[in-house]
Structure 1
Amino acid sequence: MTPGPAGFVTILRIIAATAVICVLAMLATLVIASFSDRSDFGAWTLANFTDMAAMANIWPAIWRTFMIGLFTTVFLFGFALPFTWILSRTDFGRKGLLVTLLTVSLAIPSFVTAMAYVWLFNPNSGIGNRLIEAVLGISSLFNVYSVGWICFIQALMLTPAAVFMMLPAFRNFDATLEEAAAVSGIGPYRTFFRVVLPTLAPAVGATAIFFFILAVEIFDVVGVIGMPGNIDVITTLVYQSTYTVFGPPDYGFAAALGMPLLGLCAAGVMLYIWLLRRADRFSMLTGKNRAPILRDLGRWRVAAWALICGWVALAVVIPLLTVIWTSLTPYLQPPSVQALTQLNLSSYRGVGTLLTAPLLNTLLLVLGTIAFSVVWSVSVTWLATRVAAPSDRAVDAIVFLSLAVPGMLAAVAMQFLALTVYHWVPLLGTIWLIVITMAVRSLAFTTRTLNASSVQIHRSLEEAAYVSGVGRVRTFVRVFLPVIRPAILFAVLVTTLISARELTIPLMLYSPRTSVISTTIFDLQSTGRYGEAAVFSLLMIAILLVLAMLSRWRARGDD
């Protein structure tokens, strides 16, 4: 029997309610865990916070976490802002090439880039350091184990996402404002700083806050560089609390350690929302907008090419060549005639027995994350934008709260919850716990992507179907879903790309049965099996490159 109008809405509300339950359970469990003794749910104690306050390195770790977020954002905008300006406001002749290069870089996960720079510039056996020593006689010129390198590598890898986030705002800027400034005798440089940049301030500021949050919460680079270099930040302390050398994992203490990080990210999200709300003050009439004025780069063309080539070399070429070289050599060594004679495929043959389970688990992780996140997001979006009851808008707002919970803390909360309910819901140690955690974490992005598309559809389109006697279910399937199909496909592609390269959540929820490609690479790197780690990295890059080019093709089709 086909559900009627009321029954159909009820079904979607039940689906949306499961998403809300997961988000609220994650938040509540994280707080409860911080007041619990290790993994004993509800055994209330303040010992976790007392022990955290007594740690000699807690305040330096908090300060270092903040500084990594700040300087990553500064370095990031050193690349992202010029690239966005080149693509949207200049006569640069190779814009398609630049967009393609930015897209291709998404195929190299940040932890793989961090590994490549460790192989190059670790002070003991780094390929680059040894090459410099052989040529210039300077030993250990670079030491990758530093906060500066962490910030720089994170900035390199976050640049494409920042450019794509800011690009629509820069392209939609009304050129009449620049023309008015020119008529008033204001030069182009002063116009940029006094007219263009202040008008685009909400978009630029929101992007900066968003990537500050990402920079302080991601574990990929600090896990590869920070832990071997004894650089303590909040995420490494949380990881070390759950992977103890002696005794069981201390999830209560890990949750308590994560509270400063949760507060930092929550403050960032609140500031992000405030900036977006203030964006209305800078809105422009879209019906009469003039096309953007494309500035002649002139003498700055060489500088633009230098910046682009420098970023491509640092973010794509050098890491990729390093990974390929490492996969062919028996140990870390600089290129030489002797090294060329030792090139072999032994590392490729060695990964054969390790490949099957991680590959299948990665496929399950990607497909499961897509299924949960899309079904949840479509339900929440339709209810929030079509029914629009107060309860439905509240569901949409609660789902957005998942953005404030860092991936590492989400994993701690879900692991603690899985331990608590294991006798009733045996998710602990399964790939499905990782899938659900990943899907919950992606809800903020997927719902906002679908909401943006849904609000552009006037309700008269569906009302016309109702008047013609078409039922609500059929209208949903034949009208609503096809119209927002491009947004769904974009959300699927991005979710696929993110879940396939995700390291933090699979690593935190790791068990022998749930190894994926990213955790396998991390384990091989940690145990010194660099050749096999490089081979797995190349496999992941190949998979992600296909996904990245699909997203590029989709975006070009939408244009």
Structure 2
Amino acid sequence: MVAIFGLVSFLVVSLTVLPVLVLLLTAFRPQGKLWLDPAGFSLENFVNLASQPGLGQLISNTVIYVGGTIAIATFFATLWAWITERTDFRYKVTVRVLMILTLSLPSLIQGFGWVLLLNPSNGYINHLLRTWFDLETQNGPINIYSLGMMVLVSSFLLTPTIYVMLSGIIRNMDYKLEFPATLAGVSPWRILLRIVGPILLPGLLSVFIYTVMIMIQVFEIPLSIGLTGGIQVLSTRIYLLSTAELGAPDYNLAAAFGIVLVVIALFLVLLYQRLTRESEKFAVIGGKNFRLVAKELGWRRHAVHGYAVAFFLLAFMPVLILLWASLLPFYTLPSVEALANVSFDNYRQLFSSSLFQRSLSNTAIVVVLGSTLAICVSFLVAYVSVRPVNRWCRWLDVLSFLPIAIPNIVLGLAVLLLYVRTPIYGTIAAILLAQVVVNLVFGTRVISAALIQVHPDIERAAILGGVGRLRIMWRVLVPILRTQIFNGWLLVFAHGMRDVGIPLIFLTTKTAMLSSALWLLWGYPDVPGAAALSVVLIVLLAAVVMPLQVYMARVDERNS
């Protein structure tokens, strides 16, 4: 067990602590010096950060983007959670499935779809609005390349995440807390403000803090929409400083910006943990007489149906417009006349291109091998933290949670700086290691939660029989926890397929992945090619995740 503890300690420190330490050292090195260079320490980079032109606008954009997105998404998600959990709405299961499907769509692809829908000159929705209202202008009336539209698009993408978190909170509210006020004739609005609101507030605050942590890391929508409109937020500024988009990379200044984001994220993590730790104070489910009462929609049913159709039509329109664009030799607005040009030529060209073949190969290696390595390390970390041999084991669990507090774009920069002067730099091995670091927290949380439910007596019996720890893990625990391990692997796999920030940070001619190839095609610009690759990426994700989930469900059902 001591040997396992030593191995896990080495893995956790090298994968999580070392990259952050390298980022910190780089931020305090003089301009142009990396962490291993023989140079002293300086605050020069933070002085340069404070004197950056447009810093106030950058902070303002970030605050408005994060705050506006969360506010709108919370409104939509709360409304949906209330409809599906507290009313007699007939299509609850359908809404839940559609929410999960929306959540699984890569954000960069949705961003590209919204650009095709709301491009000022030839966006399909803008074209419809100009036609319906007989507008004489050639552009607009909606401009996708604005901060307001960036907020609105991101709110659609964030709504399913908040819905998943809020639905459980609203479902667990006991109706008896509202019933006396209803009998007394108190208006629904007053019940909402004086009873329901205070009960939901702690849960809403924890959801708010968690979504702020998510939003300061969001990179795809600011990249696909914001950069074209000249709108930068903190995550895109770090990306631009870390790559050759604006000239030579400035790793020192990028590291300084990264440290600022890490400090903000760490504060939010501590606040989130404190709120969730004190959740018992706000428990509303008792041991008896707990009831869920569905409110009748009545005449509001038709309005809810209309809202559902409009919401999910808008949610899936980006994918539909990309599918349309992928079938045409050049992007044309949807029309009956354009059907004559529909073909699969873009897919044939895509499959025969060296960029696609190389990026598909790299993606398969990085995502499959990276997911497997991440789950293996996660299993070891979870085992040591749940079956501790000393007080330091708990700290390993805490350190494995560290990547959740670091935005992906910053973590990718940290790993890049760690390997920048090693043979690993410029290879897919660096991307693979970065993916393991990013996904370690997901795998550890999933497996730890399951391992807690396995009684140690099962292992003790094997130990008394002379079986070693590693063999116990492989022959006893892995079969017991196979479903949770498999679900963790799928979660990490899907995250790796969707991620854009890390592949772009490490992008070279040899390390292109499907997500970074998608960005290259879009920026070329090759809109039909990018649309075809978007569809292929969605199909690949669905073709792997859905059959494997069905297979595991059948295996579990057969074994149970």
TM-score (norm 2): 0.89
5+ long unaligned stretches in structure 1: 1-5
8 Å Cα contact 2:122/2:333 also seen in 1 = no
Say whether residues 1:365 and 2:366 are aligned partners: yes
Residues 245 and 146 of structure 1: is their aligned pair in 2 closer, same or farther, counting only changes over 3 Å? closer
Q: Provide the aligned length of Structure 1 versus Structure 2.
A: 547
Residues 187 and 245 of structure 1: is their aligned pair in 2 closer, same or farther, counting only changes over 3 Å? closer
Residues 82 and 458 of structure 1: is their aligned pair in 2 closer, same or farther, counting only changes over 3 Å? farther
Q: Which moved more, 1:236-245 or 1:223-232?
A: 236-245
C-alpha displacement at 1:397, in angstroms?
0.9
What is the rounded CA distance, in whole Å, between the counterparts of 2:174 and 2:43 in structure 1?
Answer: 56
C-alpha displacement at 1:416, in angstroms?
1.0
Q: Deviations over 1:495-519 (max 9, x none)?
A: 1111111111111111111111111
C-alpha displacement at 1:248, in angstroms?
3.2
What is the rounded CA distance, in whole Å, between the counterparts of 2:289 and 2:410 in structure 1?
Answer: 44
Say whether residues 1:83 and 2:80 are aligned partners: yes
Q: RCO greater where, 1 or 2, for CA within 8 Å and sep 6 or more?
A: 1
Q: Which residue of 2 aligns with 1:308?
A: 308
Q: Which residue of 1 aligns with 2:113?
A: 116
C-alpha displacement at 1:214, in angstroms?
1.4
Residues 471 and 47 of structure 1: is their aligned pair in 2 closer, same or farther, counting only changes over 3 Å? closer
What is the rounded CA distance, in whole Å, between the counterparts of 1:84 and 1:556 in structure 2?
Answer: 26
Residues 84 and 454 of structure 1: is their aligned pair in 2 closer, same or farther, counting only changes over 3 Å? farther
Residues 54 and 471 of structure 1: is their aligned pair in 2 closer, same or farther, counting only changes over 3 Å? closer
AA of the residue aligned to 1:333: T
Residues 108 and 355 of structure 1: is their aligned pair in 2 closer, same or farther, counting only changes over 3 Å? same
What is the rounded CA distance, in whole Å, between the counterparts of 1:464 and 1:181 in structure 2?
Answer: 57
What is the rounded CA distance, in whole Å, between the counterparts of 2:182 and 2:463 in structure 1?
Answer: 52
What is the rounded CA distance, in whole Å, between the counterparts of 1:245 and 1:151 in structure 2?
Answer: 24
Q: Which residue of 1 aligns with 2:18?
A: 25
Q: Which residue of 2 aligns with 1:294?
A: 294
What is the rounded CA distance, in whole Å, between the counterparts of 1:545 and 1:528 in structure 2?
Answer: 27
What is the rounded CA distance, in whole Å, between the counterparts of 2:72 and 2:548 in structure 1?
Answer: 26
C-alpha displacement at 1:109, in angstroms?
1.2
Say whether residues 1:255 and 2:252 are aligned partners: no
C-alpha displacement at 1:483, in angstroms?
3.7
Q: Which residue of 1 aligns with 2:431?
A: 434
What is the rounded CA distance, in whole Å, between the counterparts of 1:508 and 1:142 in structure 2?
Answer: 32
Say whether residues 1:98 and 2:98 are aligned partners: no
8 Å Cα contact 1:61/1:233 also seen in 2 = yes
Q: Deviations over 1:241-285 (max 9, x none)?
A: 123357532211211223332233222222211211121212356
Residues 12 and 187 of structure 1: is their aligned pair in 2 closer, same or farther, counting only changes over 3 Å? farther
Q: Which residue of 2 aligns with 1:536?
A: 533
After TM superposition, list the pairs within 5 Å mapping 1:157-556 onto structure 2.
157-175=157-175, 177-178=177-178, 190-244=190-244, 248-283=248-283, 288=288, 290-316=290-316, 318-351=317-350, 352-353=352-353, 354-387=355-388, 389-420=390-421, 422=422, 426-463=423-460, 472-547=469-544, 549=546
5+ long unaligned stretches in structure 2: none
AA of the residue aligned to 1:11: I
Q: Which residue of 2 aligns with 1:46?
A: 43
The CA RMSD over aligned residues, in Å, is 2.8
What is the rounded CA distance, in whole Å, between the counterparts of 1:338 and 1:173 in structure 2?
Answer: 54
Q: Deviations over 1:307-350 (max 9, x none)?
A: 3222211111x112210121123333323354333333332222
Q: Which moved more, 1:475-484 or 1:387-396?
A: 475-484
Residues 291 and 313 of structure 1: is their aligned pair in 2 closer, same or farther, counting only changes over 3 Å? same
Q: Deviations over 1:64-87 (max 9, x none)?
A: 112211111111112222222233
8 Å Cα contact 1:262/1:406 also seen in 2 = yes
Residues 339 and 172 of structure 1: is their aligned pair in 2 closer, same or farther, counting only changes over 3 Å? same
Q: Which moved more, 1:279-288 or 1:257-266?
A: 279-288
8 Å Cα contact 2:360/2:513 also seen in 1 = yes
8 Å Cα contact 1:62/1:260 also seen in 2 = no
